[in-house]
Amino acid sequence: MSGHSKWSTIKRKKAKVDAQRGKIFTRLAKEIIMAARKGGGDPDNNARLKTAVMRAKEANIPNDNINRAIQKGTGETGAANYEEISYEGYGPGGVAVMLDIMTDNRNRTAGEIRYLFSRNGGSLGETGCVAWMFKEKGMIVVDKSGETNEDDLMLAAIDAGAEDFNADEDCFEITCEPADLPTVKAAVEGAGVKAATAEVTMIPQTTVKLEGEKAEQMMRLIDALEEHDDVQNVYANFEIEE
């Protein structure tokens, strides 16, 4: 889930990984399959596949599984019957929500996603209703520590093609063009720093602050959407205090 990018969001995301490892593996495999289908099976000539493989390796997915997913995407071991869809809608308080969907049954998925929105104080919208509020970017988050030299890290990131570098209370946030993500991540780690997360995400251009019941409703909606098997990614423009 990518709401307003704060370290509390990243920590929450990391805490859920172990509990949902099977789903994480499935989602990353589906992303590899689709990336290979659309851009070919060579990561060096397919930026999306290169990023997907990088994330799969970070999640400790075995190389054999990665290679099988690539072969499935290129049709070497049978075609995968998935299609990609983007859904847009509104959460409590008018929060903008975008979903990356990968499904083998569009009608079933649409009905289930609409139900999750309505059950949790939101509504599924029309195509284009909120997409204009987001920009696709590569995002690298580095946990702050006493050993991290901010100037050296910023210089390494900018030299590698990063567009922006922000120091938050608990972390550094580095943004770049999606195709530059593997290069910038390699530069960051070459500076002796391990990235907490590195992914292509949709960054909101404006945010909505939520409190009380609406904040609780929003988190229930996000959890419900993230748990759906066909949802690859959830993006939203809410901001909630820790």
Residue 165: per-residue pLDDT: 92
pLDDT higher than threshold 80 for residue 15: no
- Sign of dihedral through CA atoms 129, 228, 222, 108? positive
Report whether 41 contacts 35 (CB < 8 A).
no
Predicted confidence (pLDDT) at residue 177 exceeds the cutoff of 60: yes
Question: In the predicted model, is pLDDT for residue 70 greater than 70?
Answer: yes
pTM given for the model: 0.79
Domains and CATH numbers, the chain: 7-74 (1.10.10.200), 83-132+206-240 (3.30.70.980), 134-204 (3.30.70.980)
Average pLDDT over residues 37-44: 90
Judged against a pLDDT cut of 60, whether residue 7 lies above it is answered with no
In this prediction, residue 11 carries a pLDDT of: 47
DSSP bridge partners of 174: 140, 165
Average pLDDT of the residues in 188-212: 89
- pLDDT tens sequence across 132-170: 999 999 999 988 876 778 888 999 999 999 999 988 878
pLDDT at 26 over 80: yes
Does the pLDDT at position 45 exceed 70?
Answer: yes
Confidence of residue 16 (pLDDT cuts 50, 70, 90): low
Q: What is the DSSP string of 50-117?
A: HHHHHHHHHTT--HHHHHHHHHHHHTTT-----EEEEEEEE-GGG-EEEEEEEES-HHHHHHHHHHHH
